Amino acid sequence: MSIPKSRIVKVVDLFCGVGGLTHGLFKEGFNVVAGYDLDEACKYPYEANNKSTFFRRDIVDVSSKEINAHYKNCDIKILVGCAPCQPFSTYSYKTADKNKWQLLGHFARLIQEIQPDIVSMENVPRLAKFTKEPIFKEFLETLNNNGYNCSYKIVNCPDYGIPQHRKRLVLLASKFGKISLIPETHDQDSYKTVKNAIGKLEPLKSGEVSKKDSLHRAAKLSELNLKRIRQSKQGGTWKDWDENLVLECHKKPSGKTYVSVYGRMSWNEPAPTITTHCTGIGNGRFGHPEQDRAITLREAAILQSFPKGYKFIKPNEDFKVKTISTHIGNAVPVTLGRIIGKSIKKHLKNIN
């Protein structure tokens, strides 16, 4: 399905990061003319992979006039974005920067001032139930009061071909009429698995770096953690270890429920949610299914459905693993971006 050629469509991506959502839309044939983010380190990967322009700006300070300039000579204006989700997450909302709650409000402000034809917003599912402040309710009210038809859905990522157990809230809104996500493309019998995604990548040992890909690097494990992972089973827990390897925190009542920490992924299932700390086995079930190490940055990116050749750093550039893992963990999965793109294309075809 292609975008109607009789209409010029342009997209602007707010909170674009390294371009997960943009790249999905790009792959579906959309002209994403600009991406906005506060993190300057996102500029290279965003521009190197997406034929778009990155603007390092705080959305709080961005005017509708500035965004509207990107829509010059177009028939259909699309505004998309994923406001930082940490303020609404289960783990950090009590201590998160309260100003970040208002970023979704600034997204709504820009929608009201720009009046784009189509809007898409992606965030954590908890946003819809967030009671600390009625930010999502106000966002919906802004859309409804400005003549948008809205729908939102809690997406289970494996249902759309993403090899990762990740749930996201995806909202679509249109001035043209009813709009919604396309139906699920996969079921439990056809989920993409860890093996489908990374099973053919070059094997590595703890602390080893691929000579072909600097992002395919395994964090070096201590001797104690090597003993632990060698006794870990796919999908298993630290309960599979010898008693002398079990951490003191796991012996406490409060730690006995954290069974995935230091665990291995399973080849034949989607990965657990890829987080910003996904390259350390002490941060979750991020152990490789067979090799005695944690997953690499490249493997994490692929499990986020980035193409294997996605450029995150300039050639021969030094980088911090923490920076790249944060970019990868915070990204919208590219395939989810494609699903959003397919849904918008179907909508445009219907109203054409």
Active site residues: 85
Among 78, 55, 69, which Cα is nearest to 8's?
A: 78
CA distance 96 to 57: 21
Q: At a CB cut-off of 8 Å and minimum separation 6, what does 85 contact?
A: 123, 124, 127
Residue ranges with strand state E in 144-229: 149-156, 167-174
Tokens 């009542």 label which residue? 253
Q: How far is Cα 109 from Cα 118, in angstroms, rounded to an integer?
A: 15
Half-sphere exposure of 122 (CA within 13 A, CB side): 30
Q: In whole angstroms, what is the distance from residue 308 CA to residue 288 CA?
A: 17
Helix then strand count (H, E) for the chain reads: 11, 7
Q: Which helix (H) or strand (E) holds 12?
A: strand 9-14
The amino acid present at 184, given as its one-letter code, is: E
What region, left, alpha or beta, does residue 175 occupy, with left being phi > 0 and alpha being psi -120 to 50 degrees?
A: alpha
Q: Please name the residue that has the structure tokens 């193409």.
A: 307
Torsion over CA: 311, 66, 117, 107 (sign): positive
